[in-house]
Amino acid sequence: MNIILLGPPGAGKGTQSAGLVERHGMKQLSTGDMLRAAVRDKTPVGLEAKAVMDRGELVSDEIVSKLIDDNLAAMSADTGAIFDGYPRTAAQGEQLDVILAKHGRSLDNVIELEVNIDALVERITGRFSCANCGAIYNMNTKPPADMKTPTSPDGSVPCTNCGFTKFKQRPDDNEETVRTRMDEYRAKTAPILPGYEMRGIVTRVDGMSGIDEVAAAIDAILT
Ligand code: AMP
């Protein structure tokens, strides 16, 4: 099973991918996570991508498609892939078809998380993650279990998943960059949907409902 989770920044692609990995043993292929790791490790790709990511613009198609190709090459053929944040342009969509064919795979589903873009800015600026295990939280909608008041975590609240008490926020999760990322989504990513629709593989899910409801809707599509 090879699926694309499509939706603007903050639609819940990362959260839902993590659930799919846990429930179905699939592998999440997030180009955003791969690029952040490259920036952290100061690799040539990371050094080239950092400024572009900080502005909220898109990294080159060649760089992200190579990351996907390399990751698929390292995966066993019977592990399902969740494409999270890729493809983001028409060119990447075409490259994905070529890469999948090369690895003997094909696309089964494109799941679009439908969201109210205005509500997303608040969602994104409220999100943070565990600095150890990467579990994703939100100050308003999904704080760690022991966080009684929805404020910024003060370092003494443990991560529900691993107990670590340090959290981090993505540098590009600020209001100005989020607006640029939304514009990029509208201009370059949303236009790739009609092509998938013509192939009859798009299913829409209400991404504004709760995390568990969205997960159940996705599972219903995959079974
Ligand atoms: P994400 O974690 O998916 O929100 O991605 C964070 C940032 O990484 C984006 O704002 C882009 O700068 C870059 N990025 C991630 N995936 C892609 C992609 N498929 N194409 C181009 N840039 C990407």
Question: Sign of the C-alpha dihedral, residues 88, 93, 95, 100?
Answer: positive
**Full-model pTM:** 0.89
Is 27 annotated as catalytic? no
Q: Biggest alpha carbon distance in the chain?
A: 51
* pLDDT per residue as tens digits for the range 58-90: 999 999 999 999 999 999 999 999 999 999 999
Identify any residues that bridge with 137 across adjacent strands, giving them in sequence order. Answer: 128
Distance between CA atoms of 106 and 153, rounded to whole angstroms? Answer: 42
Mutual angle of helices 90-102 and 61-73, in 10-degree steps = 20
Decide whether any atom of ligand 1 lies within 6 Å of the 56 Cβ: yes
For the chain, 223 residues long, give each residue's pLDDT as a single digit of tens.
999 999 999 999 999 999 999 999 999 999 999 999 999 999 999 999 999 999 999 999 999 999 999 999 999 999 999 999 999 999 999 999 999 999 999 999 999 999 988 788 888 888 899 999 999 998 878 888 877 654 556 667 899 999 998 899 989 998 889 999 999 999 999 999 999 999 999 999 999 999 999 999 999 999 8
Residue type, 117: I
Displacement of CA 138 from its chain's centroid (Å): 15
**Which string of b and e fits 107-125 if b means at least 16 CB within 10 Å?**
bebbbbbebeeeebbbbbb
Alpha helices (H) along the chain: 13-24, 31-40, 44-55, 61-73, 90-102, 117-125, 175-184, 193-198, 211-222
Ligand 1 atom at minimum distance from 35 CA: 8
Identify any residues that bridge with 30 across adjacent strands, giving them in sequence order. Answer: 84
- Contact between 16 and 219 under an 8 Å Cβ cutoff? The reply is no
Distance between CA atoms of 90 and 46, rounded to whole angstroms? Answer: 23
- Contact between 90 and 195 under an 8 Å Cβ cutoff? The reply is yes
Distance between CA atoms of 26 and 16, rounded to whole angstroms? Answer: 12
| C-alpha 104 – ligand 1 centre gap (Å) | 26
Ligand 1 atom at minimum distance from 86 CA: 19
| C-alpha 148 – ligand 1 centre gap (Å) | 33
Distance between CA atoms of 104 and 109, rounded to whole angstroms? Answer: 16
Is 13 annotated as catalytic? yes
- Contact between 137 and 31 under an 8 Å Cβ cutoff? The reply is no
* CA-wise closest residue to 11 among 182, 139, 197, 140: 182
